[in-house]
Chain A
Amino acid sequence: MTNIVTGSFQALWAALRQLPRKRMTMQYPDVQTQMANYYTYDPKLGVAKAGYKGRHILWLDKCTGCQLCSIACENIAQAIEMVKVPSVAKPQNKKTLFPQVDYAKCVFCGLCVDACPFYALGMTEDFNLVSTSKKALVYSPEKLAIPPNVTRKKVEFKIENGEAYHD
Protein backbone atom coordinates (compact mmCIF):
# COMPACT_ATOMS: atom_id res chain seq x y z
CA MET A 1 0.00 0.00 0.00
CA THR A 2 2.81 2.42 0.82
CA ASN A 3 4.34 1.64 -2.56
CA ILE A 4 1.09 2.56 -4.21
CA VAL A 5 0.84 5.87 -2.36
CA THR A 6 4.46 6.93 -2.86
CA GLY A 7 4.45 5.70 -6.45
CA SER A 8 1.30 7.68 -7.17
CA PHE A 9 2.75 10.84 -5.72
CA GLN A 10 5.98 10.35 -7.63
CA ALA A 11 4.01 9.96 -10.85
CA LEU A 12 1.99 13.09 -10.04
CA TRP A 13 5.15 15.01 -9.28
CA ALA A 14 6.81 13.83 -12.49
CA ALA A 15 3.84 15.23 -14.41
CA LEU A 16 3.50 18.44 -12.41
CA ARG A 17 7.14 19.40 -12.65
CA GLN A 18 6.70 19.76 -16.40
CA LEU A 19 4.41 22.77 -15.87
CA PRO A 20 7.06 25.54 -15.83
CA ARG A 21 9.26 23.96 -18.50
CA LYS A 22 9.71 25.35 -21.95
CA ARG A 23 7.51 23.71 -24.57
CA MET A 24 8.86 21.24 -27.07
CA THR A 25 6.22 22.03 -29.68
CA MET A 26 7.38 23.78 -32.82
CA GLN A 27 4.83 26.25 -34.17
CA TYR A 28 5.24 24.83 -37.64
CA PRO A 29 3.26 27.03 -40.02
CA ASP A 30 4.80 30.11 -38.43
CA VAL A 31 8.34 28.83 -38.04
CA GLN A 32 10.40 25.91 -39.22
CA THR A 33 13.67 24.31 -38.27
CA GLN A 34 16.91 24.99 -40.00
CA MET A 35 17.50 22.10 -42.35
CA ALA A 36 20.93 20.77 -43.26
CA ASN A 37 22.80 21.52 -46.48
CA TYR A 38 21.88 20.33 -49.93
CA TYR A 39 22.17 16.61 -50.48
CA THR A 40 24.68 16.18 -53.26
CA TYR A 41 26.64 13.31 -54.73
CA ASP A 42 30.27 13.20 -55.74
CA PRO A 43 30.57 10.72 -58.63
CA LYS A 44 34.38 10.73 -58.46
CA LEU A 45 34.49 9.57 -54.85
CA GLY A 46 31.34 7.53 -55.25
CA VAL A 47 29.85 8.87 -52.06
CA ALA A 48 27.22 11.45 -51.25
CA LYS A 49 27.39 14.44 -48.96
CA ALA A 50 24.93 14.46 -46.10
CA GLY A 51 22.11 16.92 -46.38
CA TYR A 52 18.38 17.19 -46.32
CA LYS A 53 16.63 15.40 -49.14
CA GLY A 54 13.90 17.83 -50.05
CA ARG A 55 12.91 18.92 -53.53
CA HIS A 56 15.52 18.71 -56.27
CA ILE A 57 17.65 21.42 -57.65
CA LEU A 58 18.88 21.13 -61.22
CA TRP A 59 21.99 22.97 -62.31
CA LEU A 60 21.16 23.58 -65.96
CA ASP A 61 24.75 24.44 -66.84
CA LYS A 62 25.88 20.92 -66.01
CA CYS A 63 23.00 18.71 -67.13
CA THR A 64 23.78 16.86 -70.34
CA GLY A 65 20.42 15.16 -70.72
CA CYS A 66 21.94 11.68 -70.29
CA GLN A 67 18.70 10.28 -68.72
CA LEU A 68 20.54 8.35 -65.99
CA CYS A 69 18.41 9.93 -63.29
CA SER A 70 15.30 8.93 -65.16
CA ILE A 71 16.56 5.36 -65.48
CA ALA A 72 17.43 5.25 -61.78
CA CYS A 73 13.92 6.31 -60.92
CA GLU A 74 12.33 3.88 -63.32
CA ASN A 75 11.47 1.10 -60.91
CA ILE A 76 11.25 3.23 -57.79
CA ALA A 77 8.74 5.97 -58.36
CA GLN A 78 8.78 6.73 -62.07
CA ALA A 79 8.68 10.38 -61.12
CA ILE A 80 11.36 11.69 -63.48
CA GLU A 81 10.55 12.28 -67.10
CA MET A 82 12.94 13.72 -69.66
CA VAL A 83 11.42 16.68 -71.48
CA LYS A 84 12.62 18.90 -74.26
CA VAL A 85 13.02 22.52 -73.22
CA PRO A 86 14.01 24.42 -76.37
CA SER A 87 14.07 27.75 -74.56
CA VAL A 88 17.02 26.63 -72.44
CA ALA A 89 19.91 26.24 -74.83
CA LYS A 90 23.08 24.98 -73.20
CA PRO A 91 26.27 24.02 -75.02
CA GLN A 92 26.65 20.70 -73.19
CA ASN A 93 23.06 19.71 -73.82
CA LYS A 94 22.41 19.91 -77.53
CA LYS A 95 19.13 18.03 -77.44
CA THR A 96 17.85 20.28 -74.64
CA LEU A 97 16.67 17.22 -72.70
CA PHE A 98 16.18 17.94 -69.03
CA PRO A 99 14.55 16.01 -66.19
CA GLN A 100 11.12 17.01 -65.03
CA VAL A 101 10.06 15.73 -61.61
CA ASP A 102 6.53 14.87 -60.61
CA TYR A 103 6.35 15.35 -56.86
CA ALA A 104 3.06 13.53 -56.65
CA LYS A 105 5.10 10.38 -57.33
CA CYS A 106 8.54 11.19 -55.93
CA VAL A 107 9.52 9.32 -52.75
CA PHE A 108 12.56 11.51 -52.00
CA CYS A 109 14.99 8.60 -51.86
CA GLY A 110 17.69 10.59 -53.64
CA LEU A 111 18.90 7.71 -55.79
CA CYS A 112 18.56 9.92 -58.87
CA VAL A 113 21.11 12.28 -57.34
CA ASP A 114 23.41 9.30 -56.78
CA ALA A 115 23.00 8.36 -60.43
CA CYS A 116 24.05 11.72 -61.89
CA PRO A 117 27.66 11.63 -63.12
CA PHE A 118 27.86 15.35 -63.94
CA TYR A 119 27.16 17.09 -60.61
CA ALA A 120 23.96 18.42 -62.14
CA LEU A 121 21.36 17.27 -59.61
CA GLY A 122 21.02 17.89 -55.91
CA MET A 123 18.33 18.03 -53.29
CA THR A 124 17.43 21.14 -51.33
CA GLU A 125 16.01 21.81 -47.91
CA ASP A 126 12.63 22.83 -49.34
CA PHE A 127 10.07 20.33 -48.12
CA ASN A 128 6.93 22.40 -48.31
CA LEU A 129 5.55 21.38 -51.68
CA VAL A 130 1.83 21.33 -50.95
CA SER A 131 -0.41 22.32 -53.77
CA THR A 132 -4.07 22.24 -54.59
CA SER A 133 -3.61 20.58 -57.95
CA LYS A 134 -1.60 17.65 -59.21
CA LYS A 135 -0.38 19.66 -62.17
CA ALA A 136 1.33 22.18 -59.95
CA LEU A 137 3.35 19.35 -58.44
CA VAL A 138 5.04 18.64 -61.78
CA TYR A 139 8.19 20.71 -61.64
CA SER A 140 9.58 21.68 -65.02
CA PRO A 141 13.36 21.95 -65.49
CA GLU A 142 13.23 25.75 -65.25
CA LYS A 143 11.33 25.51 -61.98
CA LEU A 144 13.78 22.95 -60.65
CA ALA A 145 16.67 25.26 -61.42
CA ILE A 146 15.42 27.98 -59.05
CA PRO A 147 16.93 27.68 -55.57
CA PRO A 148 14.27 27.49 -52.88
CA ASN A 149 13.23 30.63 -51.11
CA VAL A 150 12.09 29.83 -47.58
CA THR A 151 10.62 32.94 -46.02
CA ARG A 152 9.56 31.38 -42.75
CA LYS A 153 11.36 32.24 -39.56
CA LYS A 154 13.87 29.53 -38.75
CA VAL A 155 14.20 28.11 -35.27
CA GLU A 156 16.74 25.87 -33.66
CA PHE A 157 16.09 22.76 -31.59
CA LYS A 158 17.95 23.53 -28.40
CA ILE A 159 18.84 21.32 -25.46
CA GLU A 160 19.69 23.28 -22.34
CA ASN A 161 19.43 22.51 -18.64
CA GLY A 162 17.55 19.32 -19.21
CA GLU A 163 14.97 21.00 -21.40
CA ALA A 164 14.53 20.52 -25.10
CA TYR A 165 12.71 23.26 -26.96
CA HIS A 166 12.48 25.07 -30.24
CA ASP A 167 13.72 28.63 -30.18
Chain B
Amino acid sequence: MAAVTNFEQFVKRVLEIVFWVLILVPMVIIPIFFVVYVLPVEFSCHFSMLSCSQQINWSAALYLFSPAELNPFSPTSFISQMGLGANSMIFKSSFFPGISFAAILSSFVIWYERKLLAKMQYRVGPQYAGRVEGWLQSFADLFKLMFKEIVIPVNADAPFFMGVPFALMALSGALLAVIPISANIYITSSPYSLLIALAVLSIFPLVTVLAGWASANKFSFIGGIRALYQMISYEIPFILSVVGIVILSGGTFSLSQIVGAQGRVWFVIPMILGAIVFYITAMAELERIPFDLPEADSEIVAGWLTEYTSMTFGVINLATYIKLYGLSALFTILFLGGWNGPAPIPGALWFMIKTIIVITLFLIPRGAFGRIRIDQLIGFGWLWLIGLSFANIFIAVVLKATGIL
Protein backbone atom coordinates (compact mmCIF):
# COMPACT_ATOMS: atom_id res chain seq x y z
CA MET B 1 0.00 0.00 0.00
CA ALA B 2 1.66 3.14 -1.18
CA ALA B 3 1.10 6.31 0.75
CA VAL B 4 -1.46 8.73 -0.60
CA THR B 5 0.49 11.76 -1.73
CA ASN B 6 -1.87 13.69 -3.94
CA PHE B 7 -5.51 14.20 -4.63
CA GLU B 8 -5.50 12.00 -7.70
CA GLN B 9 -4.32 9.00 -5.74
CA PHE B 10 -6.81 9.78 -3.03
CA VAL B 11 -9.69 9.71 -5.48
CA LYS B 12 -8.31 6.55 -7.01
CA ARG B 13 -8.11 4.91 -3.61
CA VAL B 14 -11.64 5.93 -2.68
CA LEU B 15 -12.96 4.64 -5.99
CA GLU B 16 -11.11 1.39 -5.45
CA ILE B 17 -12.72 0.98 -2.05
CA VAL B 18 -16.14 1.79 -3.42
CA PHE B 19 -15.56 -0.67 -6.22
CA TRP B 20 -14.58 -3.48 -3.94
CA VAL B 21 -17.43 -2.77 -1.55
CA LEU B 22 -19.86 -2.85 -4.43
CA ILE B 23 -18.33 -6.09 -5.64
CA LEU B 24 -18.09 -7.71 -2.24
CA VAL B 25 -21.62 -6.94 -1.09
CA PRO B 26 -23.37 -8.93 -3.78
CA MET B 27 -20.60 -11.43 -4.31
CA VAL B 28 -19.57 -12.33 -0.78
CA ILE B 29 -21.84 -10.93 1.87
CA ILE B 30 -25.09 -12.08 0.36
CA PRO B 31 -23.84 -15.65 -0.12
CA ILE B 32 -22.50 -15.64 3.45
CA PHE B 33 -25.80 -14.34 4.65
CA PHE B 34 -27.47 -17.08 2.72
CA VAL B 35 -25.24 -19.79 4.14
CA VAL B 36 -25.43 -18.60 7.72
CA TYR B 37 -29.08 -17.65 7.97
CA VAL B 38 -30.99 -19.24 5.18
CA LEU B 39 -29.68 -22.76 4.98
CA PRO B 40 -30.43 -23.58 8.65
CA VAL B 41 -33.96 -22.43 8.12
CA GLU B 42 -34.21 -24.51 5.00
CA PHE B 43 -32.94 -27.58 6.77
CA SER B 44 -35.19 -26.98 9.72
CA CYS B 45 -38.00 -26.92 7.22
CA HIS B 46 -36.87 -30.23 5.87
CA PHE B 47 -36.50 -31.95 9.15
CA SER B 48 -39.25 -30.45 11.22
CA MET B 49 -42.89 -31.16 11.08
CA LEU B 50 -43.63 -27.49 10.62
CA SER B 51 -44.51 -26.34 7.18
CA CYS B 52 -42.66 -23.37 5.83
CA SER B 53 -45.65 -21.14 5.71
CA GLN B 54 -46.10 -21.32 9.45
CA GLN B 55 -42.69 -19.83 10.09
CA ILE B 56 -43.05 -16.66 8.15
CA ASN B 57 -46.11 -15.19 9.73
CA TRP B 58 -44.01 -12.78 11.64
CA SER B 59 -43.51 -9.28 10.60
CA ALA B 60 -41.86 -6.09 11.61
CA ALA B 61 -45.19 -4.95 13.00
CA LEU B 62 -45.01 -7.64 15.62
CA TYR B 63 -41.66 -6.33 16.71
CA LEU B 64 -43.11 -2.87 17.11
CA PHE B 65 -45.98 -4.07 19.26
CA SER B 66 -44.34 -6.68 21.40
CA PRO B 67 -40.59 -6.52 21.25
CA ALA B 68 -40.30 -8.61 24.35
CA GLU B 69 -41.35 -11.72 22.50
CA LEU B 70 -38.29 -11.53 20.31
CA ASN B 71 -35.13 -13.24 21.26
CA PRO B 72 -32.37 -10.96 20.07
CA PHE B 73 -29.68 -13.53 20.76
CA SER B 74 -31.01 -15.98 18.23
CA PRO B 75 -30.23 -14.32 14.93
CA THR B 76 -32.26 -16.78 12.89
CA SER B 77 -35.48 -16.15 14.68
CA PHE B 78 -34.73 -12.45 14.96
CA ILE B 79 -34.36 -12.07 11.24
CA SER B 80 -37.32 -14.20 10.46
CA GLN B 81 -39.47 -12.42 13.01
CA MET B 82 -38.43 -9.10 11.53
CA GLY B 83 -40.01 -10.27 8.30
CA LEU B 84 -36.61 -10.46 6.65
CA GLY B 85 -35.90 -14.14 7.07
CA ALA B 86 -35.27 -16.61 4.36
CA ASN B 87 -38.90 -17.39 4.11
CA SER B 88 -40.12 -13.84 4.04
CA MET B 89 -41.53 -12.58 0.81
CA ILE B 90 -39.13 -9.66 0.78
CA PHE B 91 -36.07 -11.87 1.02
CA LYS B 92 -37.33 -14.40 -1.45
CA SER B 93 -38.38 -11.96 -4.12
CA SER B 94 -35.46 -9.61 -3.82
CA PHE B 95 -32.58 -11.92 -2.93
CA PHE B 96 -33.01 -15.63 -3.32
CA PRO B 97 -34.40 -17.02 -5.58
CA GLY B 98 -35.53 -13.64 -6.84
CA ILE B 99 -34.03 -10.71 -8.66
CA SER B 100 -30.61 -10.43 -6.98
CA PHE B 101 -29.81 -14.07 -7.44
CA ALA B 102 -30.98 -13.98 -11.04
CA ALA B 103 -29.07 -10.76 -11.71
CA ILE B 104 -25.81 -12.14 -10.35
CA LEU B 105 -26.37 -15.34 -12.26
CA SER B 106 -27.11 -13.31 -15.39
CA SER B 107 -23.94 -11.32 -15.03
CA PHE B 108 -22.01 -14.55 -14.96
CA VAL B 109 -24.04 -15.86 -17.86
CA ILE B 110 -22.96 -12.79 -19.83
CA TRP B 111 -19.33 -13.51 -18.99
CA TYR B 112 -19.84 -17.19 -19.77
CA GLU B 113 -21.44 -16.35 -23.10
CA ARG B 114 -18.57 -14.09 -24.05
CA LYS B 115 -15.98 -16.68 -23.14
CA LEU B 116 -17.85 -19.46 -24.92
CA LEU B 117 -18.35 -17.39 -28.03
CA ALA B 118 -14.70 -16.37 -27.97
CA LYS B 119 -13.61 -19.99 -27.79
CA MET B 120 -15.76 -20.82 -30.80
CA GLN B 121 -14.36 -17.85 -32.64
CA TYR B 122 -10.72 -18.77 -32.18
CA ARG B 123 -9.94 -15.97 -29.74
CA VAL B 124 -9.68 -15.46 -25.98
CA GLY B 125 -12.52 -13.21 -24.85
CA PRO B 126 -12.50 -11.04 -21.71
CA GLN B 127 -9.26 -11.48 -19.91
CA TYR B 128 -8.17 -8.73 -17.58
CA ALA B 129 -11.03 -7.75 -15.24
CA GLY B 130 -10.70 -9.85 -12.13
CA ARG B 131 -7.23 -11.13 -13.06
CA VAL B 132 -8.49 -14.67 -13.74
CA GLU B 133 -10.00 -15.09 -17.21
CA GLY B 134 -11.86 -11.81 -16.88
CA TRP B 135 -14.55 -13.20 -14.60
CA LEU B 136 -15.50 -9.72 -13.38
CA GLN B 137 -15.99 -8.35 -16.89
CA SER B 138 -19.75 -7.95 -16.49
CA PHE B 139 -19.22 -5.85 -13.40
CA ALA B 140 -16.64 -3.75 -15.18
CA ASP B 141 -19.19 -3.17 -17.92
CA LEU B 142 -21.80 -2.36 -15.31
CA PHE B 143 -19.61 0.32 -13.78
CA LYS B 144 -18.76 1.69 -17.18
CA LEU B 145 -22.44 1.98 -18.00
CA MET B 146 -23.18 3.59 -14.65
CA PHE B 147 -20.87 6.49 -15.39
CA LYS B 148 -22.38 7.21 -18.78
CA GLU B 149 -24.87 9.95 -19.40
CA ILE B 150 -28.51 9.06 -19.86
CA VAL B 151 -29.64 10.71 -23.06
CA ILE B 152 -33.32 11.15 -23.78
CA PRO B 153 -33.97 12.12 -27.42
CA VAL B 154 -35.70 15.46 -27.93
CA ASN B 155 -38.72 14.03 -29.66
CA ALA B 156 -38.96 11.00 -27.42
CA ASP B 157 -41.97 10.37 -25.25
CA ALA B 158 -39.93 10.70 -22.09
CA PRO B 159 -42.17 8.96 -19.50
CA PHE B 160 -42.69 5.94 -21.71
CA PHE B 161 -39.11 5.99 -22.89
CA MET B 162 -37.79 5.90 -19.34
CA GLY B 163 -40.53 3.55 -18.20
CA VAL B 164 -39.51 0.78 -20.56
CA PRO B 165 -36.42 -0.42 -18.64
CA PHE B 166 -38.39 -0.50 -15.41
CA ALA B 167 -41.27 -2.31 -17.06
CA LEU B 168 -38.92 -4.90 -18.51
CA MET B 169 -37.21 -5.39 -15.15
CA ALA B 170 -40.56 -5.73 -13.41
CA LEU B 171 -41.74 -8.25 -15.98
CA SER B 172 -38.57 -10.28 -15.60
CA GLY B 173 -39.09 -10.24 -11.84
CA ALA B 174 -42.67 -11.30 -12.31
CA LEU B 175 -41.51 -14.19 -14.45
CA LEU B 176 -39.11 -15.27 -11.72
CA ALA B 177 -41.84 -15.08 -9.09
CA VAL B 178 -43.62 -18.17 -10.31
CA ILE B 179 -40.58 -20.29 -11.07
CA PRO B 180 -39.67 -22.67 -8.22
CA ILE B 181 -36.08 -23.71 -7.76
CA SER B 182 -36.78 -26.74 -5.65
CA ALA B 183 -39.71 -28.24 -3.81
CA ASN B 184 -39.17 -25.79 -0.98
CA ILE B 185 -37.42 -22.84 -2.56
CA TYR B 186 -39.87 -20.68 -4.43
CA ILE B 187 -41.26 -17.19 -4.24
CA THR B 188 -44.92 -17.86 -4.74
CA SER B 189 -46.71 -21.08 -5.21
CA SER B 190 -49.79 -20.97 -7.34
CA PRO B 191 -51.83 -23.73 -8.97
CA TYR B 192 -51.70 -21.67 -12.17
CA SER B 193 -48.03 -20.75 -12.19
CA LEU B 194 -47.45 -22.02 -15.76
CA LEU B 195 -50.28 -19.85 -17.05
CA ILE B 196 -48.95 -16.87 -15.13
CA ALA B 197 -45.48 -17.38 -16.65
CA LEU B 198 -46.94 -17.56 -20.16
CA ALA B 199 -49.07 -14.48 -19.50
CA VAL B 200 -46.06 -12.51 -18.29
CA LEU B 201 -44.04 -13.59 -21.31
CA SER B 202 -46.75 -12.36 -23.64
CA ILE B 203 -46.52 -8.82 -22.21
CA PHE B 204 -42.86 -8.42 -23.29
CA PRO B 205 -43.65 -7.59 -26.95
CA LEU B 206 -45.93 -4.75 -25.84
CA VAL B 207 -43.07 -3.21 -23.90
CA THR B 208 -40.66 -3.57 -26.80
CA VAL B 209 -43.03 -1.96 -29.26
CA LEU B 210 -43.57 0.78 -26.70
CA ALA B 211 -39.80 1.27 -26.58
CA GLY B 212 -39.65 1.45 -30.35
CA TRP B 213 -42.46 3.96 -30.49
CA ALA B 214 -41.34 6.15 -27.63
CA SER B 215 -37.78 6.51 -28.97
CA ALA B 216 -38.95 8.63 -31.94
CA ASN B 217 -36.39 6.96 -34.17
CA LYS B 218 -37.13 5.20 -37.42
CA PHE B 219 -34.76 2.35 -36.68
CA SER B 220 -36.27 1.89 -33.21
CA PHE B 221 -39.71 1.92 -34.73
CA ILE B 222 -38.87 -0.74 -37.32
CA GLY B 223 -37.22 -2.77 -34.57
CA GLY B 224 -40.25 -2.49 -32.33
CA ILE B 225 -42.57 -3.54 -35.13
CA ARG B 226 -40.32 -6.46 -35.95
CA ALA B 227 -40.29 -7.50 -32.29
CA LEU B 228 -44.06 -7.36 -32.24
CA TYR B 229 -44.37 -9.47 -35.39
CA GLN B 230 -41.85 -11.98 -34.22
CA MET B 231 -43.06 -12.40 -30.67
CA ILE B 232 -46.71 -12.55 -31.49
CA SER B 233 -46.29 -15.07 -34.28
CA TYR B 234 -44.06 -17.19 -32.07
CA GLU B 235 -46.34 -16.88 -29.06
CA ILE B 236 -48.79 -19.39 -30.52
CA PRO B 237 -46.41 -22.32 -31.07
CA PHE B 238 -44.75 -21.41 -27.78
CA ILE B 239 -47.97 -21.86 -25.84
CA LEU B 240 -49.07 -24.86 -27.90
CA SER B 241 -45.78 -26.61 -27.22
CA VAL B 242 -46.48 -26.77 -23.48
CA VAL B 243 -50.05 -28.02 -23.85
CA GLY B 244 -48.76 -31.57 -24.17
CA ILE B 245 -46.98 -31.22 -20.83
CA VAL B 246 -50.18 -30.13 -19.15
CA ILE B 247 -52.04 -33.09 -20.63
CA LEU B 248 -49.39 -35.57 -19.56
CA SER B 249 -49.09 -34.22 -16.03
CA GLY B 250 -52.77 -34.67 -15.42
CA GLY B 251 -54.18 -31.28 -16.27
CA THR B 252 -52.28 -29.26 -13.74
CA PHE B 253 -50.84 -25.82 -14.39
CA SER B 254 -48.70 -25.81 -11.29
CA LEU B 255 -45.00 -26.03 -12.09
CA SER B 256 -44.27 -27.91 -8.86
CA GLN B 257 -46.79 -30.55 -9.76
CA ILE B 258 -45.48 -30.78 -13.31
CA VAL B 259 -42.05 -31.54 -11.86
CA GLY B 260 -43.67 -34.05 -9.54
CA ALA B 261 -45.27 -35.77 -12.52
CA GLN B 262 -41.84 -36.35 -14.04
CA GLY B 263 -40.70 -38.76 -11.36
CA ARG B 264 -40.65 -41.72 -13.72
CA VAL B 265 -39.54 -40.21 -17.01
CA TRP B 266 -38.58 -36.70 -18.02
CA PHE B 267 -41.00 -35.17 -20.44
CA VAL B 268 -38.24 -34.43 -22.92
CA ILE B 269 -38.38 -38.05 -24.05
CA PRO B 270 -42.06 -38.36 -24.98
CA MET B 271 -42.36 -34.65 -25.80
CA ILE B 272 -39.23 -34.24 -27.93
CA LEU B 273 -41.15 -32.31 -30.59
CA GLY B 274 -42.54 -30.00 -27.95
CA ALA B 275 -39.06 -29.50 -26.53
CA ILE B 276 -37.70 -28.57 -29.96
CA VAL B 277 -40.55 -26.13 -30.58
CA PHE B 278 -40.17 -24.66 -27.12
CA TYR B 279 -36.42 -24.27 -27.64
CA ILE B 280 -36.78 -22.52 -30.99
CA THR B 281 -39.64 -20.28 -29.92
CA ALA B 282 -37.93 -19.39 -26.67
CA MET B 283 -34.90 -18.35 -28.70
CA ALA B 284 -37.16 -16.09 -30.75
CA GLU B 285 -38.75 -14.69 -27.60
CA LEU B 286 -35.29 -13.92 -26.29
CA GLU B 287 -34.25 -12.22 -29.55
CA ARG B 288 -31.16 -14.33 -29.70
CA ILE B 289 -29.30 -15.11 -32.93
CA PRO B 290 -30.58 -16.45 -35.33
CA PHE B 291 -33.75 -14.64 -34.32
CA ASP B 292 -32.31 -11.30 -33.29
CA LEU B 293 -34.15 -9.38 -35.99
CA PRO B 294 -35.53 -6.67 -33.67
CA GLU B 295 -31.99 -5.59 -32.83
CA ALA B 296 -30.29 -6.51 -36.10
CA ASP B 297 -27.35 -4.17 -35.91
CA SER B 298 -26.30 -4.24 -39.54
CA GLU B 299 -29.80 -3.53 -40.81
CA ILE B 300 -31.48 -1.26 -38.29
CA VAL B 301 -28.60 -0.06 -36.09
CA ALA B 302 -29.76 -1.61 -32.81
CA GLY B 303 -33.48 -1.89 -33.39
CA TRP B 304 -35.63 -0.84 -30.50
CA LEU B 305 -32.54 -0.43 -28.31
CA THR B 306 -30.99 2.25 -30.53
CA GLU B 307 -31.70 5.27 -28.37
CA TYR B 308 -31.06 3.67 -25.00
CA THR B 309 -27.85 4.65 -23.29
CA SER B 310 -26.11 4.20 -20.01
CA MET B 311 -27.91 2.21 -17.33
CA THR B 312 -31.21 2.29 -19.19
CA PHE B 313 -29.47 0.13 -21.75
CA GLY B 314 -27.82 -1.86 -18.99
CA VAL B 315 -31.10 -2.55 -17.25
CA ILE B 316 -32.74 -3.64 -20.49
CA ASN B 317 -29.84 -5.97 -21.16
CA LEU B 318 -30.00 -7.33 -17.63
CA ALA B 319 -33.73 -7.90 -17.97
CA THR B 320 -33.11 -9.79 -21.20
CA TYR B 321 -30.62 -12.07 -19.50
CA ILE B 322 -32.93 -12.58 -16.53
CA LYS B 323 -35.56 -13.57 -19.05
CA LEU B 324 -33.03 -15.98 -20.53
CA TYR B 325 -32.56 -17.50 -17.09
CA GLY B 326 -36.33 -17.63 -16.56
CA LEU B 327 -36.98 -19.38 -19.86
CA SER B 328 -34.13 -21.83 -19.28
CA ALA B 329 -35.55 -22.60 -15.84
CA LEU B 330 -38.97 -23.07 -17.42
CA PHE B 331 -37.46 -25.48 -19.95
CA THR B 332 -35.78 -27.39 -17.12
CA ILE B 333 -39.01 -27.63 -15.17
CA LEU B 334 -41.19 -28.58 -18.11
CA PHE B 335 -38.95 -30.98 -19.95
CA LEU B 336 -35.95 -31.96 -17.86
CA GLY B 337 -37.61 -32.96 -14.64
CA GLY B 338 -36.80 -29.84 -12.66
CA TRP B 339 -35.05 -30.67 -9.42
CA ASN B 340 -35.48 -34.41 -9.75
CA GLY B 341 -32.19 -36.23 -9.59
CA PRO B 342 -30.17 -38.73 -7.60
CA ALA B 343 -30.18 -38.11 -3.89
CA PRO B 344 -26.77 -36.91 -2.64
CA ILE B 345 -26.96 -33.69 -4.57
CA PRO B 346 -29.73 -31.42 -3.29
CA GLY B 347 -32.61 -30.67 -5.62
CA ALA B 348 -31.82 -26.99 -5.98
CA LEU B 349 -28.33 -27.87 -7.20
CA TRP B 350 -29.70 -30.35 -9.70
CA PHE B 351 -31.99 -27.63 -10.91
CA MET B 352 -29.14 -25.16 -11.32
CA ILE B 353 -26.98 -27.69 -13.17
CA LYS B 354 -29.74 -28.45 -15.62
CA THR B 355 -30.58 -24.78 -16.05
CA ILE B 356 -26.99 -23.88 -16.87
CA ILE B 357 -26.86 -26.68 -19.43
CA VAL B 358 -30.02 -25.29 -21.02
CA ILE B 359 -28.58 -21.78 -20.97
CA THR B 360 -25.53 -23.14 -22.79
CA LEU B 361 -27.83 -24.62 -25.39
CA PHE B 362 -29.39 -21.20 -25.84
CA LEU B 363 -25.98 -19.57 -26.20
CA ILE B 364 -24.33 -21.93 -28.68
CA PRO B 365 -26.29 -21.07 -31.87
CA ARG B 366 -24.92 -17.56 -31.72
CA GLY B 367 -21.54 -18.97 -32.70
CA ALA B 368 -22.74 -20.94 -35.67
CA PHE B 369 -25.58 -19.09 -37.36
CA GLY B 370 -26.45 -15.82 -38.94
CA ARG B 371 -29.70 -13.98 -38.82
CA ILE B 372 -32.77 -14.95 -40.80
CA ARG B 373 -35.21 -12.65 -42.51
CA ILE B 374 -38.57 -11.61 -41.11
CA ASP B 375 -40.65 -13.29 -43.82
CA GLN B 376 -38.69 -16.53 -43.49
CA LEU B 377 -39.02 -16.33 -39.73
CA ILE B 378 -42.77 -15.91 -39.77
CA GLY B 379 -43.18 -18.52 -42.49
CA PHE B 380 -41.13 -20.99 -40.47
CA GLY B 381 -43.21 -20.23 -37.39
CA TRP B 382 -46.58 -20.70 -39.00
CA LEU B 383 -45.64 -23.53 -41.32
CA TRP B 384 -43.42 -25.77 -39.24
CA LEU B 385 -43.59 -24.88 -35.60
CA ILE B 386 -47.36 -24.81 -35.27
CA GLY B 387 -47.60 -28.10 -37.13
CA LEU B 388 -44.95 -29.66 -34.91
CA SER B 389 -46.64 -28.45 -31.76
CA PHE B 390 -49.98 -29.90 -32.88
CA ALA B 391 -48.25 -33.18 -33.59
CA ASN B 392 -46.81 -32.94 -30.11
CA ILE B 393 -50.27 -32.46 -28.59
CA PHE B 394 -51.49 -35.45 -30.56
CA ILE B 395 -48.67 -37.60 -29.18
CA ALA B 396 -49.51 -36.43 -25.68
CA VAL B 397 -53.17 -37.29 -26.11
CA VAL B 398 -52.30 -40.72 -27.48
CA LEU B 399 -49.90 -41.41 -24.63
CA LYS B 400 -52.45 -40.29 -22.08
CA ALA B 401 -55.37 -42.18 -23.64
CA THR B 402 -53.45 -45.41 -23.96
CA GLY B 403 -52.26 -45.05 -20.40
CA ILE B 404 -48.56 -45.34 -21.21
CA LEU B 405 -47.77 -42.25 -19.15
* A interface residues, Cβ below 8 angstroms from B: 8, 11-12, 14-16, 18-19, 21, 23-25, 27
Which chain B residues border A11 with CB–CB below 8 Å? Answer: 368-369
**Is there contact, CB below 8 Å, between B364 and A8?**
no
Task: Confirm or deny: B119 has a beta carbon within 8 angstroms of a beta carbon on chain A.
Answer: yes
Candidates B119, B365, B368, B369; contact of A19 at CB < 8 Å: B119
Contact A16–B364 (Cβ < 8 Å): yes
Which among A15, A16, A23, A25 has the highest number of chain B CB atoms within 10 Å?
Answer: A15
Residues of A with C-beta under 8 A to B122 = 18, 21, 23-24
Other than the given A12-B368, A25-B124, 10 more pairs (CB < 8 A) read A8-B368, A8-B369, A11-B369, A12-B364, A12-B365, A15-B364, A16-B364, A16-B368, A18-B120, A23-B124
Asked if B119 and A18 sit within 8 Å, CB to CB, the answer is yes
Query: Smallest CB-CB separation from B120: which chain A residue?
Result: A15
In the complex, the answer to whether B124 meets A15 with C-beta atoms within 8 Å is: no
B131 at the interface (CB under 8 A from A): no
Contacts of B120 in A (CB 8 A): 15-16, 18-19
Chain B residues within CB distance 8 Å of chain A: 119-124, 364-365, 367-369
Which partner residue on chain A sits nearest B117 by CB separation? A15
The dominant DSSP class at the B interface is loop
Residues of A within 8 A of B365 (CB): 12
CB contacts (< 8 Å) of A21 on chain B: these are 122
In-complex Cβ contact of B123 among A8, A12, A19, A23 (8 A): A23
Q: Which residues on the A side are within 8 Å of B369 (C-beta)?
A: 8, 11
Task: Return the chain A residue nearest B370 by Cβ.
Answer: A11
How many Å from the CB of A124 to the closest CB on chain B?
30
Smallest distance from the beta carbon of B280 to chain A beta carbons, Å?
A: 11
Return chain B residues, CB-CB under 8 Å to A16.
120, 364, 367-368
Contacting residue for B367 out of A8, A15, A24, CB 8 A = A15
Q: Enumerate 26 A-B pairs (CB-CB under 8 Å) in ascending A order.
A: A8-B369, A11-B368, A11-B369, A12-B364, A12-B368, A14-B368, A15-B120, A15-B367, A15-B368, A16-B364, A16-B368, A18-B119, A18-B120, A18-B121, A18-B122, A19-B119, A19-B120, A21-B122, A23-B122, A23-B123, A23-B124, A24-B122, A24-B123, A25-B123, A25-B124, A27-B124
Chain B residues with CB under 8 Å of A19's CB are: 119-120
Sort A-B residue pairs by CB-CB distance and give the 3 closest, nearest first: A15-B368, A15-B367, A15-B120
Residues of B within 8 A of A12 (CB): 364-365, 368
